[in-house]
Amino acid sequence: MALQPAVHQTKSLRRWWPKRRLWKIVTSVVLVLVLLLITASGTGYYLIHKSLPVVDGTLNVSGLQQSVAVWRDDHGVPHIEAQNEHDLYLAQGYVTAQDRLFQMDLSRRQASGELSEVVGDKALSRDKFFRTFGLRRAAEASWNSYSQDAKQVLEWYAQGVNAYLHQAVQDNTLPIEFTLLGYQPREWQPVDSLTIGKYMAFDLGGHWEEQAFHYDLAQHVSEDQALDLFPSYPVDAPTIIQAMKDNPLDVGPLLAEAVKPNPFNGSNNWVVAGSKTQSGKPLLANDPHLSLATPSIWYETNLKTSSLNVSGVIFAGIPGIILGHNDHIAWGVTNVGPDVQDLYIEKRNPANPNEFQYQGKWEPAQVIHEEIKVKDAAPVSCDVRITRHGPIISEFANDKSTDTALSMQWTALQPSTELEAVQRFAKAQNWDEFKQALTYFQTPAQNFVFAAEDGTIAYRANGLIPIRTKGDASTPVPGWTGEYEWKGYIPWEELPTTVNPPSGFIATANNKVVGDDYPYHLSNVWAQPYREKEISQTLAGKNDLTATDMQKLQFDPTNLQAKEFLPILTGLLQGQQDKLRDIDLAALKELSDWDCRDTLDSSGALVFNLWESELPNVLFKPELSDETLSLFEDKAGTVDHLIRNAASGNPGPWVQERGGLAAVALTAFQRAVDHAVELQGKDASKWKWGEFHQVPFHHPLAAVKPLDLLFDPSKSPVPGSKVTVEAAGWDAKTGEVNHGGAWRTVVDFSDLSQTYNVVGPGQSGHLLSPWYDDQVKDWTTGGYHVTSTDPQVYQVKGHQLTLTP
């Protein structure tokens, strides 16, 4: 009996021993992993910290003629004080590279079609696309159009970038992104800056996507359905549609692989005369709407010599200031969005893939042999064929020659001098001088608003806008007949211009900027009118406006689309009570209590915006695929138009085939409600727009998990939506805010030495910099920082770096 406990104890020990041993093994493995993590973290921290820019003290910079002072203020904005322009722009290149070198390199690679060289074959299709478009070729062709003075600025800037690059390579302090991707950037060339400028022309578009969309429609839906989605009924609609049907082309690969700018790329800007302000001096406000990312697309800078003092923002990689002010004037821009791209249906010679028909003869195309370097793989070759109209863009995704192809003519593929205009903006002192500088700004066409210390306010739609022999740029046109050629551009002196209007203000928000009596065609696609209408109503309603009023207006979440359509759509549901579920009724209650403002705590904002996003799905699917709809640039405005027509008793075929507007409204509403339940539960009173609508400011490397945890700022809720003045475009599935005014500025001429600004998420591209994401809170809550051009202000608290020869 005495042995039993011993046996029992032995068995217990046997059962315990393997567990103890396993625990020791697990503990050891975890300990090793922790140590490795600590080591890796320590190494990573060391590498990241080591690459932080030097912002205090003295640095020797090759190429300088004299010392340059660089003061960075509380938000990392560099104030560069130089004794001559050579040193000024060399220092701008150096300082910008300190903060944004990886972004600069990625930008020039994307625009040049050279991403595959550093990220592998996953970027191959994108590279082929940009090699086909030829942005870098257009930049290279533009070089000789620049004046010698402008060329020098570009060269000085490149010298500054390279001075930093050489130091970083020598000291092993390149940004950590280069280490993670395993490459070293090449030297900066002046044409790199021009190429980034061409990319901005691409990003602000010209509506080739809409033309391709109409071409695809003609192949797959009835003529009535196709015409129902046209912006207007083309004069020669039957002829054009028949031409598209007679010359079919599978644009599926183009639809799937093309890089398409965000259709909501645009901006708000407005300027107010002293007659309507509290100070008696003009006010100017601008917030350009582009993709949101880390780092920001914008880089704020103050450039100063004895004869120059200009402050504002620029794209990293370009010298000067493109939006901002000097001691005498201020200016801002929005996108005109004109039709500056035309697709041509080309007939190829079956016996020679490099020849295309024109007026009964076969013309040889220019053939450019492109070789794309690919990381960890052999180079890939592709041929780009360029007809008299432009490059063949329909083959980049499949490399197969067909008898029918699409070419593209585009103003930006011609030599242009927009970066020369930027240099001249900085030195202009009045409207006449600024207007003269605009003669150098050809692409992309922009709505410029202007104010001057003498009280002048002005507006101009500026850029090259083609005049067509025939056609209205709504569809691809026959390229072989010679009937649809461009015959020049709208004369410069006849571009839309307004100076000191009686209203006392000028506002644009990518809306239609000319009346029906304007003698030239500008565009078929304009932004929905809600932003401009809210801005104009606000400015017209007050005569003692202040900078604070401008800031509040830039962050205005009023949804005028909801004010127009909510009564129509909810009224349609009232007649279908028997089909409404309890959760539907609860959601309708939230809408009835909503003030039509897209605020963070609003449940009505969530319901309405999800409802709006479902309407095109109900109307157009499954006939139109996601790829096809991605080319439908004017989808939002067209859906508005279809609803207005149907509500007034004139439903088109798309609405009719879905059972009428009431059926469309109900189906879309119930899908939206189901989505809201999936997102935030069954209590509609607790739904909140801000829990869904949040900005992540994604870093380019965040696509590689888990690097998003390292590089992305924390998500933050954002008020507003796609149609509010506080523009915040969002992904319909995830709610992520991916588009908006990364830069907001207000200029008050009562004191031109200071402006009110915010750059989301921050100035720096370096993860450990205090200015990496320090402006996220201000950007998401309507805050601003003051940028002063007065040395007595920014030198008090700033970090001083002296650059010496």
**Residue 339 labelled as part of a binding site:** yes
Residue 71, pLDDT > 80, answer yes
Name residue 805's amino acid.
P
Residue 709 lies in a domain: no
Residue 491 lies in a domain: no
703 residue type, one letter? A
What 8-state DSSP symbol labels residue 558?
B
Would the pLDDT of 707 be above 90?
no
Residue 720 CA to its chain's centroid (Å): 17
| Stretch 707-712: mean pLDDT | 89
Show the tokens assigned to 472.
Answer: 């209205």
Residue type at 130?
A: F
Q: What is the pLDDT of residue 237?
A: 64
Percent share of the chain, pLDDT over 70: 93
The residue segments making up the domain with residue 573 are 560-596+601-692
The pLDDT tens digits of the residues spanning 532-565 come to 999 999 999 999 999 999 999 999 999 999 999 9
- Quickly state the pLDDT bin for 682 (edges 50, 70, 90): very high
Phi then psi for 44, rounded to 5 degrees?
-60, -45
Lowest mean pLDDT among 36-45, 77-86, 625-634, 758-767: 36-45
Cβ neighbours around 656 below 10 Å, total: 14
Q: How many domains does the chain have?
A: 1
pLDDT tens digits, one per residue of 435-472: 999 999 999 999 999 999 999 999 999 999 999 999 88
For the annotated catalytic residues, the residue numbers are 267
What confidence tens digit (pLDDT) does each residue in 616-628 have?
Answer: 999 999 999 888 8
Determine, yes or no, domain membership for 175. no
Q: Which residue has the higher pLDDT, 24 or 750?
A: 750
Residue 513, token pair as written in the block: 């900027």
Domain harbouring 614, CATH code: 1.10.1400
The stretches of 80-175 forming alpha helices (DSSP H) are 85-112, 116-119, 124-133, 135-142, 148-171
For residue 781, what pLDDT band results from cuts at 50, 70 and 90?
A: very high
pLDDT for residue 11: 34
- Cα–Cα nearest to 334, from 203, 509, 460: 509
Dig out the tokens for 315 from the structure: 């794209």
Closest alpha carbon to 597 in 551, 534, 547: 534
| pLDDT for 246 | 79
Mean pLDDT calculated for residue range 179-198: 96
Residue 68 neighbours by CB under 8 Å, 6+ apart: 61, 80, 81, 82, 83, 87, 88, 91, 802, 803
**Per the domain annotation, does 617 fall within a domain?**
yes
**Cα separation of the two ends of the chain:** 95
Q: What is the pLDDT of residues 329-375, one digit of tens each?
A: 999 999 999 999 999 999 999 999 999 999 999 999 999 999 999 99
pLDDT reported for residue 761: 98
Position 252 scores a pLDDT of 76
DSSP 8-class letter at 333: E
- Please count the residues of the chain: 805
User: Is 228 labelled as part of a ligand binding site?
Assistant: no
Q: Is residue 660 part of a domain?
A: yes
The residue behind tokens 């992904």 is: 731
Structure tokens at 612: 């709006």
pLDDT score of 719: 98
Instruction: Check pLDDT > 50 for residue 396.
Output: yes
pLDDT at 399: 65
Give the Cα-Cα-Cα angle 620, 622, 623 (nearest 5 degrees): 70
Q: What is the pLDDT averaged over residues 133-137?
A: 96
Question: What is the per-residue pLDDT across 264-304, written as a single tens digit (0 to 9) for each?
Answer: 788 999 999 999 999 999 999 999 999 999 999 999 999 99
Range 493-499 average pLDDT: 97
Mean pLDDT of 418-426: 97
Predicted pLDDT at 529? 94
At 10 the pLDDT is: 33
On whether residue 71 sits in a domain, the answer given is: no
List the structure tokens of 106: 């990625």
* Token pair belonging to 380: 């890939």
Distance CA 676, CA 175 (A): 41
Give the residue-averaged pLDDT of 575-597. 96
Buried b (16+ CB within 10 A) or exposed e, 710-725: ebbbeebbbbbbbbbb
Query: For residue 63, what are the CA distances in angstroms to 105, 157, 424, 803?
Result: 22, 11, 24, 11
Burial 468-493 (b: 16+ CB within 10 A, else e): beebbbbbbbbbbbeebbeeebbeee
Q: Which two tokens stand for residue 697?
A: 């400011």
- Whole-angstrom Cα Rg for the chain: 29
499-502 CB contacts, 8 Å cutoff, 24+ apart: 499/431, 499/456, 499/457, 499/458, 499/459, 500/273, 500/456, 500/457, 500/458, 501/457
* Residue 582, burial from CB neighbour count under 10 angstroms (0-12, 13-18, 19+): exposed
Q: What is the pLDDT of residue 206?
A: 72
**How far is Cα 127 from Cα 121, in angstroms, rounded to an integer?**
9
Phi/psi of residue 109, nearest 5 degrees: -65, -45
Averaged pLDDT, 100-110: 98
Q: 491 preceded by cis ω (within 30°)?
A: no
Quote the CA–CA distance of 529 and 541 in Å, as a whole number: 18
* Within a domain: 609: yes
The answer to whether residue 590 is domain-embedded is yes
- Quote the mean pLDDT of the chain: 91
- How crowded is residue 361: how many other Cβ atoms within 10 Å of its Cβ? 9
Where does the pLDDT of residue 242 fall: very low under 50, low under 70, confident under 90, or very high at 90 and above? Answer: confident
Residue 395 has pLDDT above 50, yes or no: yes
Distance of CA 33 to the CA centre of its chain: 41
By CB atoms closer than 10 A (0-12, 13-18, 19+), residue 286 is: buried
